[in-house]
Amino acid sequence: MQIACRELVKRFALDGRTVSALDGVSCEFGSGELAVVIGRSGSGKTTLLNLLGGLDRPSSGAVQVDGEDLYARSDRALSRYRNERIGFVFQSFHLNARETALENVLVPFLFARRPPGDPKGRGRAALAEVELADQVDQPAGTLSAGQRQRVAIARALVNEPDFVLADEPTGNLDQETGAGIIGHLETLAHERGLGVVIVTHDTAITRVADRILRLEDGRLV
Amino acid sequence: MGPVRAVRRAAHEVRRHGVRAFLLAGGVAIGVALIVFLLAFVAGTRKAIMDRVVSSLPITHLTVVPRAFSLSVLRFESPFSSLDARAVDRIAAISGVERVLPMAGLRVPAQLRADFYGQRFVTDTGVFGIERALVEDQLSPGTAFEPGDSGPVPAVISGDLIDMYNTGFAKANDLPQLTPEILRDRSAMLSLGSSSFNPRAGTDVRQLPVRLIGVSDRVPLVGISVPLEVVNRWNAELAGQASPEYVQLTVVAGRAEEVDRIADQIEALGYTVTTGREIAERVRALTDVLGAAFGTIGLVVLIVAGIGIGNALLLSVMERRHEIGIFRSVGASRADIRLLFLVEAGLIGLLGAVTGVALAFVAARVADLLLDRVLPDLPLLPPSFFALSWPILLAGLTLGVLVSVLAAVPPAHRAARLDPARTLETG
């Protein structure tokens, strides 16, 4: 699978003026590749990730998935793309703290067109893959930050996506735990052949990258 | 997202916010309970009235009286619409008329004297002549209603008269209650030509024994009804009436569908006609208005409850922005989010509606018990004032769910329109 950005522009209205988060970005990402997009806060990294994942709409330009314009699709088709082909990992995990690790991991199946026959088995397997087999019934709020991020990765992987899009995945973790998470993402790209895009301001992550893209003020440099 | 998964997830949300859901469902329950309770009361009242109407004037029966003109409080009968033998023949000749049952009124005053429980009662009374066929199905099988050459004259009285006596006169005078069984075969003395209003009457008084043989709700309320030929004979002997004239005719149609046509033809002859259907329609119209008024009261309460649900869900959308963002990021479409909120409101509505129906059921039983205690001796009263029929229960359930779902449309729409990227940024 290949995701390509063509002259991507995203503008926001902020305090009565228009701000460009992305200003003519063109780039490509492919399966089996770990790409790292670095840049300072406000450089447009998260906006780029959201546009790659079908979570936002560009002001102009296009995102093409295997040559097809992603944003020409209906909301339902775009949602299916997020459900079946993309797994998001966020800096602040975005888990439901009151629900168990397994319940959080199973959320994508709630909206799946064809849920698997044994969703709980798939959820447990995804948690086992991130070494949380013994935490499946723990409420997410009681887990450590590293464990929560691994639950988020399990949720991203449970529906077997083609791409994992990670937004500052180590931002809330200590160095050692962060390294473990990055190692896991590296495995997904290099051993399982998934496309992985990590956006971060942490330049240390670039050592595992197959390709590094730098964003400054909404432009690739 | 399939409906089963939507219901499961919405049920999960309802459980998670149990107290809030309970309060919101409580509002719906009160509205639904009020609607079901009041509509069941209207339906029960209608049923009770209709049962009496059908009993006193079946749908195949018509009553015919002379046409009358009112001038203020004065009432004049048309001299051209008297009910005599010729009128009976003309009406009987109308196609579809199975039978014509005349009713005559005695043209001289009369008093009834009877002994009950050691006390003597004397009362002025109307005396009416009827044909056996009018009351036949309401008499005990085999009861004779023919005048013999000697012995007491058989008489029938109105069941409503017994009710009035029991609830008014007997209570006020601390007298025992009467029932048709107690009165059956009782004898009394009828004084023809005697009146407490006219001192000159009574100079030529004829004393005749009468025997009560039954009770009917098709005979006049104030008076006794005896065989028609007896009254005709008395009118000829005491009032000099050459040929019989009647106060009312009961026309029996062969089929209920022909009643309206027959009524039109009789009215064209110059008479006033009342049909059971007409009375039933009047009762129906009256109870419909009552039902609409009561239903509106319940609906207003339900709408207020619905607004509460709408507001609570609107707050819930704000509280759950983050969760909505997560759902969107893992593949929820706008339609999925909208469906989740609508189903959640529907479940709260269903919970409230089921509770409301149960409350109405209990309230109806309690009200029946209380009314039975307050009004213990009214035979006119039905066994229950409430008719909790399936259509009413289903209407309550449907309205509870429908109002809740409709109230959830704006918040559901708002939740669906949330920008997932922004909600996750702020989360």
Per domain, the residue ranges of chain A are 32-46+76-216
Same domain, yes or no, for B44 and B119?
A: no
pLDDT band at B426 (very low <50, low <70, confident <90, very high): low
Containing domain of residue B122, as a range?
Answer: 61-254
Kindly state the tokens that stand for B297.
């009261």
- Please tell us whether the domain made up of A32-46+76-216 is placed in CATH 3.10.20.600: no
From the list B364, B368, B382, the residue with the least C-alpha distance to B51 is: B382
Distance CA A124, CA A151 (A): 11
Judged by a CB distance cut-off of 8 A, whether residue A53 touches chain B is: yes
Same domain, yes or no, for B217 and B70?
A: yes
pLDDT band at A195 (very low <50, low <70, confident <90, very high): very high
Q: Measure in Å the smallest separation between the Cα of B2 and chain A Cα atoms.
A: 8
A44 contacts: CB under 8 Å, gap ≥ 6: A10, A21, A22, A23, A25, A215, A217, A218
Same domain, yes or no, for B211 and B249?
A: yes
The shortest CB-CB distance from B424 to any of A90, A95, A96 is to: A90
ipTM confidence score: 0.94
Same domain, yes or no, for B238 and B290?
A: no
Same domain, yes or no, for B246 and B108?
A: yes
Judged by a CB distance cut-off of 8 A, whether residue A80 touches chain B is: yes
The CA–CA distances, whole Å, from B227 to A9, B78, B129, B224 equal: 104, 27, 5, 10
pLDDT digits (tens, 9 = 90+) for B240-258: 888 899 999 999 999 888 8
pLDDT digits (tens, 9 = 90+) for B79-129: 677 889 999 999 999 999 999 999 999 999 999 988 877 778 888 999 999
Kindly state the tokens that stand for B398.
């449907």
Within a domain: B265: no
From the list A34, A5, A39, the residue with the least C-alpha distance to A217 is: A39
Judged by a CB distance cut-off of 8 A, whether residue A55 touches chain B is: yes
Same domain, yes or no, for B82 and B214?
A: yes
Min mean pLDDT across A146-160, B2-16, B336-350 is at: B2-16
A78 contacts: CB under 8 Å, gap ≥ 6: A54, A70, A71, B333
Min mean pLDDT across B2-11, B67-76, B158-167, B201-210 is at: B67-76
CA angle centred on B348, ends B12 and B417, rounded to 5° = 75
pLDDT band at B199 (very low <50, low <70, confident <90, very high): low
Count how many domains chain B has: 2
Binary contact (B1, A94; C-beta < 8 A): no
Count chain A–chain B contacts defined by CB atoms under 8 A: 70
Same domain, yes or no, for B50 and B69?
A: no
pLDDT band at B235 (very low <50, low <70, confident <90, very high): very high
Q: Measure in Å the smallest separation between the Cα of B322 and chain A Cα atoms.
A: 8
Same domain, yes or no, for B85 and B48?
A: no
Which residues in chain A have Cβ-Cβ distances shorter than 8 Å to B424?
55, 90, 94
pLDDT at B88: 93
Pairing of strands B206-216, A219-220: unpaired
Within a domain: B259: no
Binary contact (B333, A79; C-beta < 8 A): yes
- Closest residue on chain A to B336 (Cα): A111
Which residues in chain B have Cβ-Cβ distances shorter than 8 Å to A151?
none
Q: Is the model's pTM score more than 0.80?
A: no
pLDDT digits (tens, 9 = 90+) for B29-80: 998 998 899 999 988 888 888 777 666 677 888 999 988 777 666 767 766 7
Judged by a CB distance cut-off of 8 A, whether residue B338 touches chain A is: no
Which residues in chain B have Cβ-Cβ distances shorter than 8 Å to A46?
425
